[in-house]
Amino acid sequence: MITYIGRRFLWIIPVLFVVSIITFSLMHAVPGGPWDREKKLPDATVARLNAKYGLDDPIYIQYVTWAGKFLQGDLGPSYRYIDRSVNDIVADGIWTTVQLGVMAFLLSVIVGIPLGIFAALGHNRGPDYLSTSISIVGIATPSFVLAMLLIVFFAVNLGWFPTGGWKGPQYWVLPTIALAGFPIAVIARYTRASMLEVTRKDFIRTAHSKGLSDQAVVSRHMIRNALIPVVTILGPTLAFLVTGSFIIETIFGIPGIGRFYVTAIGTRDYGLLMAMTMLYAFAVAFLNVVVDVLYAYIDPRIRYS
């Protein structure tokens, strides 16, 4: 078991390596450069800047230089925000982004799983229709539309929450809900389906044959077994939260690193771009391994084999 965990984590390294190569190549395949401005800079200036930042070296040298620095924790200079290093930029925003992601994840799980369980227990009756309706809204509404709706109703019309910024707890509510909408729906549906499937299993009949109350059968036998497959979608859920947070950050003006996502591509800020990609890729890969390990842990068939 330990070797399994260790191996999974070690595999992250080559994966990140390949990701970095692909991103680096693509990045430099994008026409234009970091010095493109509305008004074109004189060629001499551009040449000087390129030389200064080593952008006139062959690609593989540039990559090796970058990789070398990266492995030492130096994310390099930002090509756009000349006075700041990427390390600074990332340090400023990353905890905000992480916080938003964690809150949205917790909300998804805390709301989604019980919603699915109640839907299954009240199959084809009230709780099922309610939960399914919520799920439908969640999957049918893209996060940016949900964000817009939340802002219009709760921030503008009702004035309960601010429309943007990140200056205190009341700023956290709407963005978290907007980001968690889709995962809640997915988790609820999956949990419901899993519970319904577990209901048909033989060991549930055995549990009933022992004279256990319905409540005991549900809580001791059904929920445990139903949640095991649900863990498998936590991985993609986390990936969604990681990559989808940038849109929410942009709409709500949240000072995380997400807002640099698209702009870094637009401004050809190579340094920032590489850092962002590596961070996100690491987060996704790491979280996926954690989920897989969790899955292996909670299923005794895998844990003890």
Partner 1 sequence: MATNTTVVPGQIAKPKASVGPWREAAGRLFRNKLAIVGLFLVSGLLFAGIFGPFLAPWPYQVQDLQAVFANGGRPLPPFSPDHLLGTDQLGRDLLSRMLDGARISVTVAFVVQMVIIFIGVPLGALAGWYAGLMDSTIMRFTDVIYAFPDLLFIILLSVAFRETPFGQALDGLFLVFVAIGLVGWVTVARLTRGQILSLKETEFVEAARAIGVSDRNIVLKHLLPNGISPIIVAVTLGIPVAILAEATLAYIGVGVQPPRASWGSLIAEGQKSLRSDPHLVTFPAIAIALALIGFTFLGDGLRDALDPKLKGKQ
Partner 2 sequence: MVSANEEVPTGESPTIVELSSDEVLRERNAAVLEAGAGRKADHLLEVRGLSTHFFTPDGVVQAVDDVDFEVGYGETLGLVGESGCGKSVTALSIARLVADPPGKIVSGSIQFDGIDVLKLSDVDMRKLRGKEIGFIFQDPLTSLNPTLTIGYQIGESIREHLGLSAKAARDRIIELLAKVGIPRPADRLNDYPHQFSGGMRQRVMIAIALSCDPKLILADEPTTALDVTIQAQILELIQRLSSEFQTAVLLITHDLGIAAGMCDRVNVMYAGRIVETGTVDTLFEDPRMPYAWGLLDSLPRIDDVRGDRLRTIEGLPPLLINVPDACRFNPRCSYARDRCRESEPQLTEREPGHSARCWATEPGGWIE
- In the chain, the amino acid numbered 140 is A
Q: Which does 71 bind (CB under 5 to 8 A by kind): partner 2, partner 1, none?
A: none
Sign of the C-alpha dihedral, residues 18, 20, 23, 29?
A: negative
Q: Are 224 and 185 in contact (CB under 8 A)?
A: no
Specify the residue, 113 or 283, whose C-beta has the smaller distance to partner 1: 283
Tell me the CA distances in angstroms from 287 to 78, 114, 232, one per residue in order: 27, 23, 12
Specify the residue, 45 or 133, whose C-beta has the smaller distance to partner 1: 133
Residue in this structure with the two tokens 């019309």, named with its chain if needed: 157
Report the site for partner 1 in 8-27 (rule: CB under 8 A). Answer: 11-12, 14-16, 18-19, 22-23, 26-27
Q: Which does 304 bind (CB under 5 to 8 A by kind): partner 1, partner 2, none?
A: partner 2
Task: Label residue 149 exposed, middle or buried (CB < 10 Å: 0-12, 13-18, 19+).
Answer: middle
Tell me the CA distances in angstroms from 216 to 118, 195, 204, 213, 229, one per residue in order: 15, 15, 11, 5, 21
Specify the residue, 78 or 277, whose C-beta has the smaller distance to partner 1: 277
Termini Cα distance of the chain: 9
Q: Which does 197 bind (CB under 5 to 8 A by kind): partner 1, partner 2, none?
A: partner 1
Interface residues toward partner 2, by CB under 8 A: 201-203, 205-213, 216, 220-221, 224-225, 228, 298-301, 304-305
In the complex, least distance from residue 169 CB atom to partner 1, rounded to whole angstroms: 26
Q: Are 252 and 174 in contact (CB under 8 A)?
A: yes
Number of residues in contact with partner 1 under rule CB under 8 A? 45
Report the site for partner 1 in 126-185 (rule: CB under 8 A). Answer: 136, 139-145, 148, 152, 156
> What is the contact surface with partner 1 in residues (CB under 8 A)?
11-12, 14-16, 18-19, 22-23, 26-27, 29-31, 136, 139-145, 148, 152, 156, 197, 200, 239, 242-244, 246-247, 250, 261-262, 265-266, 276-277, 280-281, 284-285, 288
